[in-house]
């Protein structure tokens, strides 16, 4: 497996956020983590990214233990997170945000090439390349956050709630782009409140409840599971 999370325990003070979460992501997959608010989905991603230290448990990527690595070293290995709420650098232009995405790269000569590729994928960003990113719409900021992450040439993209706060039409567009990014060779671990959309593009999925994995399986099977339909798909 490309990424393996084993028996993670994380607490915020007296609150136990993760109680033994384990999951795996294979090369080329889209794996979704679904569940209600407070289920531990974002905490799982942030722990993988090195932003949170677990009390116990292990995370390995390509067989390398990354549990205690600082975030910038994890990005250097090829794992990059698109954070919840976009978190673009609002006082920087679109172009400057994209350049920031490549800050750890040594191959500066090919950065321009990759910016061109981002603009091909997100034409709206090219139209606004000199605009301050704080003035972009929510959907454009999400595209910029994705584009900025792609600038680090990740093997694995960790995506946290990409549809949050977006109009339904834009949600469709963002998910089509996520699928396309995956088809061009990037593995994706996706945390998403919109279980319907997540299960429609994922290969496999894990259902989290109060910090524990309660269901796991092929995304199609989970989408057809009556419990999942009732709890997360509004059916």
Dihedral over Cα of 225, 231, 232, 235: its sign: positive
Beta sheet of 187-191, edge-to-edge order: 79-82, 156-160, 187-191, 30-34, 204-209, 212-218
CA distance 169 to 222: 24
Q: How many C-beta atoms surround the C-beta of residue 41 within 10 A?
A: 27
Q: Give the list of residues 6+ apart from residue 120 with CB closer than 8 angstroms, or none.
A: none
Going from the N-terminus, what domains does the chain have, and what CATH number goes with each?
Answer: 3-232 (3.40.50.300)
**Predicted TM-score of the model (pTM):** 0.89
Per-residue pLDDT of the chain (235 residues), as tens digits, is 999 999 999 999 999 999 999 999 999 999 999 998 889 999 999 999 999 999 999 999 999 999 999 998 999 899 998 877 668 888 999 999 999 888 877 777 788 889 999 999 899 999 999 999 999 988 899 889 989 989 988 999 999 998 888 888 888 888 998 999 999 999 999 999 889 999 999 999 999 999 999 999 999 999 999 989 888 876 5
Q: How many C-beta atoms surround the C-beta of residue 219 within 10 A?
A: 20
Q: Give the list of residues 6+ apart from residue 110 with CB closer than 8 angstroms, or none.
A: none
CA distance 147 to 42: 20
Question: Residue 188 is inside which H or E element, if any?
Answer: strand 187-191
Dihedral over Cα of 205, 78, 52, 63: its sign: positive
Helices 168-183, 138-150: inter-axial angle, 10-degree rounding: 10
Are 46 and 85 in contact by the 8 Å Cβ rule? The answer is: no
């Amino acid at each position: 497996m490309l990424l393996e999370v084993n028996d993670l325990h994380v607490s915020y003070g007296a609150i136990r956020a993760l109680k033994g979460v384990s999951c795996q992501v294979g090369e080329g997959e889209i794996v979704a983590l679904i569940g209600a608010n407070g289920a531990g989905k974002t905490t799982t991603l942030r722990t993988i990214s090195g932003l949170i230290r677990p009390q116990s448990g292990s995370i390995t990527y390509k067989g390398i233990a990354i549990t205690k690595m600082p975030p910038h070293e994890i990005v250097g290995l090829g794992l990059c997170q698109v954070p919840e709420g976009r978190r673009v650098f609002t006082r920087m232009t679109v172009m400057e945000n994209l350049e920031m995405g490549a800050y750890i790269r040594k191959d500066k000569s090919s950065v321009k090439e990759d910016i061109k590729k981002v603009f091909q994928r997100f034409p709206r960003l090219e139209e606004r390349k000199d605009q301050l990113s704080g003035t972009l719409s929510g959907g454009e900021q999400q595209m910029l956050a994705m584009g900025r992450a792609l600038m680090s040439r990740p093997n694995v993209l960790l995506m946290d709630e990409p549809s949050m706060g977006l109009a339904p039409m834009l949600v469709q567009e963002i998910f089509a782009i996520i699928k396309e990014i995956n088809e061009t060779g990037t593995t994706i671990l996706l945390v998403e409140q919109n279980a319907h959309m997540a299960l429609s593009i994922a290969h496999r999925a894990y259902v989290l409840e109060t910090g524990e994995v309660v269901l796991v399986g092929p995304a199609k099977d989970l989408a057809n599971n009556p419990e999942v339909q009732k709890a997360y798909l509004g059916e």
